[in-house]
Chain A
């Protein structure tokens, strides 16, 4: 097993041989990938060393200040596409996709949700029809962040409507430059458009873009979604928090303080601190190799906390809470919670309990998988998808 010392020595030796000022950022990142220092827990030859995941921190420490791959911009690739390709891709697919994914040359997006399939993802209707060595895809996807930058998308489509819903799905890599792919911005309640609608009309994808077996799409998608929740749950505590922004406002505006607001602020401060400690405990469990079920719950906590703190902030600000910073229809690169006004925080936080699994679905998951409570009686699992009422 590769240990921390080896990883540190490898990183230091790489840095000694590759002065970042002597190479373009992209060439430097490619070299770093080829040296197995991109994501150390990946296998050798695919940007890693086959080392334990927690040794990544050692690498990042050595490479502080070197060119980065803009992880905020390629989050879907790093957090969702890459682990899925690693788990289900052919050797050729791994070699083709992982390197430009990690260096940021190729942005990825996720084509899962549809207007008719949100929480009930397995009910999705986008069709993939086999035509020789190709698949022809028709349908509509929604809530697709980064689609307008993306070179590739991870796509789940229905190859056989005669099978029960979970069994008729197949997973593909969608070429976002293929004819028939149309990306339209989707304006949100904040005024901007982080997301897109993606219309797929007669899109032809080669069978070499299929990930996993025909009919295995649901299982492959579970790998993607599990990695998404791990990424959300295990992310470190930010240095500046929404509660921190509220506290600064509280200190700056003594004339706006009131007793009711004070009690609610203290409750939320405690809630935020408990959330921080819960996350810290979860990360300790992950490092100790005993992943705790707390991960499933972190997103629930975080959504509620963001919503309650931002709601209190708008109310606290009174007249300033009646003002909004900017309704311009823009295409931001990500969510800028702390750089925007209180009204933006309040509105954008509403999405936290919807995106990446609604809070209601997450409660079901906690109840059934963590607490082991019996599943709801269902009538939609065994019947052919085409016969389900909709």
Chain B
């Protein structure tokens, strides 16, 4: 194992970074089809986690660092990481549709779902009679192999070609995108908007298997790398600005009060990089990564938010404007700290794993 980046990983980083600089120059709202096609087809990132494609969680983590650094709107996390993980686990035969980047998929769980809490399950018999499940964020399989249900807070749903729907009994259903009703929600993170997804008697392919908690934990571990990218951009942008910005006839970056804040932030980002690399490495190795993921998610989630908040404060008034990209980073960082378990959820999950059981 190594916490550094291999040569192949550095090459992948350069390719992704160059492409984003070319195709998605300014951080912007809304999906960028050209950037995604370049990433998926030319660089091949969509298949990094598909079996037999030769990629790994370590490489997916590097892609996420760059997507975080550019706060790029992209289906990579929701489709190529989260949905792909569930579908591979469920033995979905047609995974090449996703791996090639021709199609994207969304897993029908809230972005705020925690890997440590069971997903809601429909009460099958009563719900079947009603035609729609009685609980929110659950689906029911009707007798004619059709699916009904309604899911809130789904990221990557707008424009998805496939939906992966959690069912009872550890099963999932695959539904084609044109059989879902997707209603966008005005979202805090404008670069990763949410939607409500509704199925009414949608034809479905039911697969036995596909662990949603496992996929959420996997995604939480890799999200840490996106958070590292966000934090690194915020730190670098702020350091650069404080060298240029002059007040009181000197660069404000020469004031010790500001230097110490940035030194502390740099230290936290260095720790975040080590923790995120460790989680990616453990996930790539297929080891029991629960501790590594929880540590990375707890630390990196908070560091990305702090970096964005510090960036805003230290930029002063310009940081409050819609025109400057900091707000996109703050919104993404805050949303990421809720996605796949909050830092507190991840810390609490550590308690039994590291010998610090909760009080009676």
List residues of chain A with CB under 8 Å of any chain B CB. 247, 250-251, 254, 257-259, 261-263, 265-267, 269-270, 273-275, 277-278, 280-281, 284-285, 288, 294, 297, 300-301, 360, 362-364, 366-368, 370-377
Contacts and interface: CB of A to CB of B under 8 A. Distances in A.
A371 B270 contact: no
Contacts of B356: 247, 250, 262, 265-266, 269
B239 A254 contact: no
Given A270-B350, A274-B271, A288-B4, A366 B360 contact: no
B299 A274 contact: yes
Given A265-B356, A366-B263, A284 B2 contact: yes
Interface in B301-330: none
A236 to B, nearest CB: 15
Contacts of A363: 259-260, 263-264
A267 B294 CA distance: 11
Nearest to A373: B253
A262 B295 contact: no
Given A277-B271, A364-B259, A367-B259, A270 B295 contact: yes
Contacts of A277: 3, 271, 274-275, 277-278, 295
A368 B271 CA distance: 19
A337 B264 CA distance: 26
A281 B262 contact: no
B45 to A, nearest CB: 25
24 contacts: A257-B360, A259-B359, A262-B358, A266-B347, A266-B351, A269-B354, A273-B291, A274-B299, A277-B274, A277-B275, A278-B270, A280-B3, A281-B4, A285-B4, A301-B267, A366-B266, A367-B260, A367-B262, A370-B266, A371-B263, A374-B250, A374-B254, A375-B254, A376-B255
Given A366-B266, A373-B239, A278 B274 contact: yes
Contacts of B150: none
A278 B277 CA distance: 10
B256 interface: yes
A247 B4 contact: no
Contacts of B262: 367, 371, 373
B134 interface: no
Contacts of A247: 354-356
Contacts of B3: 277, 280-281, 284
Given A281-B4, A281-B277, A285-B4, A374 B253 contact: yes
B251 interface: yes
Contact of B355 (A250, A366, A372, A373): A250
Contacts of A273: 275, 291, 295
Nearest to A365: B263
